[in-house]
Structure 1
Amino acid sequence: MLNIADDLHRWYGESRPFALATVVGVQGSAPLPLGTSLAVDTNGNAVGSISGGCVEGAVYDMCQRLLEDGGPAQRARFGYSDDDAFAVGLTCGGELDVLVRRIDPAAHPHLADALAAVVKGQPAAVAQVVDGPEDLLGRMVYVDDTDTDPGGLPAVLSRQVTAQAQALLHAGRTALVEVGGDAVACPDRISVLVHVHAAPPRMLIFGAIDFAAALSQAGRFLGYRVTVCDARPVFATRARFPHADEVVVDWPHRYLGQTTLDARTAVCVLTHDPKFDIPVLREVLALPVGYVGAMGSRRTHKQRMQLLREAGVSDEQLARLRSPIGLDLGARSPEETAVSVVAEILATRNQTTGLSLSDLTGPIHAVPGPMKLEDPHMSLLQRMAKP
């Protein structure tokens, strides 16, 4: 839904009713991820997409019928059938579950706050009931990063949904969660799709060299907020790194201690100089960032590992270090190396192999299953790591 926040925010401002179709389930290969939406207003105008064109027409018709009838939210499944080549379906062979519901801005003012936050670039989450009792199906609540109860759901469910949505908001991840199922507090098990718009993840590049210029461009293209940091002012200039969001003149380890990082942060150390590398790697390998890579030859890597051990870095921490940095693509130029590095960052972030798809079997797009609420104080990463 938040993929079309600008248009929906404008429709809200015009008090324009619309039908919202959202991808709430994916099996196998599918062109677009969970939470992607298409909306149709009462004049027949459409924005967004849910399948890249395969089933758009059928979903558009569903939206128009719902706008005319004003009925409850509806779910539909679209797949591929070898038995009926003319059936509406996905040519990629996957399956989509789509939830369609009517939205009247006057009756759902809380969504205006969520859409306004997204348009301003602020973090926001919208929790949408996609499976459960009919009276709750399709209901949506806006969750921010405060302790405020958003309401809109029964009290017990509201607390559980808020805890899950805030964890996902901090992790920057849209996902399905399951709540309820408690015979005493809430007997119904409910699936909730949490739509998340998070602040961009950060990429920290230490070392103001030509490889950093190419990597900063690739990182920004992928949606990272890129910082280039180097202690040498003659090299760390805005003119040399026009694609970076900020260029900092400071010692890498000192800057690291003054900035904010999270589990989505990618740190790339490109200096391959021990006086820069060792202090910053010693610090960053003790932090819960998503990716740490360091540039250098095999010989440099071997020497670096020895120096890091002498500096007190544990074997467990060293196992997190991607060195030499990047995937084996035969890269030589700065631009090719940047592709190699961001490819490794993506593979690490998505927990994939980095191998050629032609050498693998199974779905191209892995789809995580619904998350269950366990201990509300357990971190999202801890829950994801559980078998």
Structure 2
Amino acid sequence: MDNIHQILQAAPSENDVLATVIDVDGSAYRKEGTTMLVKQGKTVGILSGGCLEEDIRLRAEELKTGASESFYYNLKSEDDFDWGQGAGCNGVITVLLEKIDYAYFLHLDKMREQLLKGQSVLLIKKLTSDYRVSEYGFIVDKDMFWGKGEEDFLDRMVEMKNHQTTSGVRYVEEFSCPCFFHWFHPKHRLMIVGAGPDAIPLSQFASRTGFRVTVTDWRPALCNKETFPDAEELLTGFPAEIFPDYEFQAHDFVVLMTHHFERDREVLHYLLERNLRYIGMVGTKERARRLLGRKELPPNLYTPVGLEIGAEGPEEIAISIMAELIQLNRLPVITKVEAVL
């Protein structure tokens, strides 16, 4: 997670400073594209293990509105005389600071709107030789782009959209300068089916790690904002009332925690028709076979849910589930079997 949803929720405004890791040489605590907001002397998000944030906050106070500047931090040192602070992270990172003006505020707000609609947004920033921003643009597709720059830059920027998949700084021949590229993606969506006690920590952990959480249950006494304050959506009703019209997306995650055999059977009937990325279910594989009435289980059905870490109790099980979801997001080619070998 690059902190952007946390930052946009904090409502960045004029004279706030956006700090972004734009280049990493070696290893570092966070990767290219990670952002932090300095807002009224306080910080939202982190860029390191805690050794850079105070220095960045102080440097942010010196920037003029609309200005940008990059700073280099050497984290390779193993003593306390350099930015490594004895950590020996073995990396050098470049952090870009930008003081938000009114135009940039509007452009960030437009990106927020697109992310809420489920759209991914590519950001391209043209940099000077000393890594200050000269022009920038946000792209959704060839018909939806905006930014600050010459018309020629914005047009060429759109043409480059399909060729940029990784974050970082690279020299672009067409512009004769280095550019920073980063994709911002909507929050991953997690639906928790069943509002029992074991669903509470899962909702909390998922929300804190950047998921958009929906909880659904047929019992209003359990499925409510008081019990699930971190959930962004609560749906009360039986599966036949909720699932036929719900707009699932291909990359959605769903976890079944009803502990109710017939209810799970009904829910699976709807979910397996939608070819979702992940369906996790509490219980054994044998229970899943009985639910489906067949021996072969679908590849997107994960049961028992979560990584096999010997978890017991609601909190540990929630941690094992979140570990599995994070692993799938970071390492999509690793199978569940390979992960525990």
TM-score in terms of structure 1 length: 0.63
Give me the whole-angstrom Cα distance separating, in 1, the residues matched to 2:167 and 2:184: 8
Aligned to 1:113: 106
Distance between the aligned counterparts of 2:18 and 2:331, measured in 1?
Answer: 31
Name the CA shift for 1:138/1:296 in 2 (closer, same or farther; >3 Å): farther
SS for the counterpart of 2:312 is: coil
Cα displacement (A) at 1:218: 3.5
- 1:332 aligns with 312
Could you tell me how far 1:202 is from its partner in structure 2? Answer: 2.4
Once residues 136 and 163 of structure 1 are traced to their aligned partners in structure 2, the CA distance between those partners, rounded to angstroms, is 25
Q: Does residue 1:297 correspond to 2:292, yes or no?
A: no
Distance of 2:9 and 2:224 partners within structure 1:
31
Question: Can you list the C-alpha shifts for 1:35-93, whole angstroms capped at 9, x where unaligned?
Answer: 3445779xx9574553344245665676677759x9985453523135x7523336251
Q: CA deviation at 1:246?
A: 0.4
CA distance in 1, matches of 2:12, 2:67: 23
1:157 correspondence with 2:145: no
Superposed counterparts of 1:1-387, under 5 Å:
2=4, 4=7, 9-10=12-13, 12=14, 16=15, 21-27=19-25, 29-37=27-35, 47=43, 49-56=46-53, 59=56, 73-74=69-70, 76-82=72-78, 86-89=81-84, 91-100=87-96, 103=99, 105=101, 109-117=102-110, 123=116, 125=121, 127-129=123-125, 137=133, 139-143=135-139, 147-151=143-147, 152=149, 154-160=153-159, 175-176=167-168, 186=174, 188=176, 191-194=179-182, 196=184, 198=186, 200-230=187-217, 232-233=218-219, 237-238=223-224, 241-243=227-229, 244=231, 245-251=233-239, 255-271=242-258, 273=260, 275-285=262-272, 287=274, 289-304=276-291, 306-307=293-294, 318-351=298-331
2:51 and 2:201 mapped to 1: Cα distance? 36
Which structure is richer in relative contact order (CA contacts within 8 A, separation 6 or more)? 1
- Partner deviation per Cα, 1:153-180 (whole Å, 9 max, x = no partner): 5144321355679xx9xxxxx9448795
C-alpha spacing 1:345/1:47, structure 2 compared with 1 (3 Å) = closer
User: How much has 1:24 moved relative to structure 2?
Assistant: 0.9
Change in CA separation of 1:94 and 1:147 when aligned onto 2, cut-off 3 Å: farther
**Percentage of identical aligned residues:** 22
Counterpart-to-counterpart distance in 1, 2:273 and 2:128:
42
Moved more, 325-334 or 300-309: 300-309
Whether contact under 8 Å (1:8, 1:115) holds in the other structure is no
Say whether the 8 Å CA contact 1:227–1:248 is kept in structure 2.
Answer: no
**RMSD over equivalenced CA pairs, Å:** 4.7
Distance (whole Å) between structure 2 residues aligned to residue 233 and residue 8 of structure 1: 35
TM-score between the two structures when normalised by the length of structure 2: 0.70
Contact 2:22 2:96 in 1 (8 A): no
Distance 2:331 2:73 in 1: 28
CA contact (8 A) 2:190 2:252 kept: yes
Q: Is the 8 A contact 1:19 1:101 kept in 2?
A: yes
Between the two proteins, the alignment pairs up a number of residues equal to: 324
Q: Is the 8 A contact 1:21 1:101 kept in 2?
A: yes
SS in 2 for 1:97: strand
| 8 Å CA contact retained: 2:73, 2:83 | no
**CA contact under 8 A between 2:24 and 2:32: conserved in structure 1?**
yes
* AA aligned opposite 2:156: L
Cα distance 1:332–1:158, how it changes in 2: closer, same or farther (>3 A)? same
For residue 202 of structure 1, give the secondary structure of its aligned residue in structure 2.
strand
Question: Partners of 2:253 and 2:53 in 1: how far apart?
Answer: 36
Amino acid corresponding to residue 74 of structure 2 in structure 1: F
Preserved contact between residue 125 and residue 197 of structure 1 (Cα < 8 Å)? yes
How big is the shift at 1:336?
Answer: 3.0
Deviates more, 1:86-95 or 1:31-40: 31-40
Q: Secondary structure at the match of 1:277?
A: helix
Distance in 1, matches of 2:123 and 2:236, equals 38
* 1:321-363 deviation line (CA, Å, top 9, x unaligned): 11111222333333332232222222222228799xxx99xxx
Gaps of 5+ in 1: 169-173, 310-314, 361-387
Greater share of strand? 2
